[in-house]
Amino acid sequence: MSAAKFDDYSDIIKVTLTLLVVQRDRFANYCQANGWRLPAFWFPRRTTPTLSSQVRDARRWLKDQADAGKKAMSKNGYMKACQQQVPGLSGRQFIMAWDDDKVIPKSWKTAGRPLRRGGINAVDALISR
């Protein structure tokens, strides 16, 4: 069937085949009107991921917090506070914003308690007594 030319078919079959033709732009409009994602086999995906407005807003909020000074709460605390400030922010989106080194200082990302003066944390200070 794939080797046959369109003119090789009878007129009845030609009518049927003509009805099966789907135009890409019309199909895209139909999918978008129904809220469906476009099929990947026919429409190429974007090569660069786009950031949602929630991630941009979360990065902006976190940057303001980091610029304000010392880390005031845990990462989970920042996530909850950020989700209150940025409606619709998911945990995954928060992590995307948190992992940006331009937003959060490396000192905020180290595990354990914050270091005290003298370079030791509070637990080490208690043990050394």
The fraction of the chain above a pLDDT of 70, given in percent, is 79
**Torsion sign, CA atoms 68, 72, 75, 79:** negative
Average of per-residue pLDDT across 78-92: 90
Residue-wise pLDDT tens digits, 94-121: 998 998 888 888 888 877 766 566 555 5
Residue-wise pLDDT tens digits, 24-80: 888 888 888 888 888 877 767 665 445 688 899 999 999 999 998 888 888 898 999
As a whole number of angstroms, the distance between CA 124 and CA 114 comes to 11
pTM: 0.50
User: What does R_g of the chain's alpha carbons equal in angstroms?
Assistant: 28
Give the model's confidence band at 126: pLDDT under 50 very low, under 70 low, under 90 confident, else very high: very low
Name all contacts of 45-54 with Cβ < 8 Å and 24+ positions apart: 51/96, 52/93, 54/86, 54/87, 54/88, 54/89, 54/90, 54/93
Whose tokens are 């026919």? That residue is 42
- The HSE-up count of residue 67 (CA atoms within 13 Å, CB side) is 8
Pick from 65, 64, 54, 45: nearest CA to 96: 54
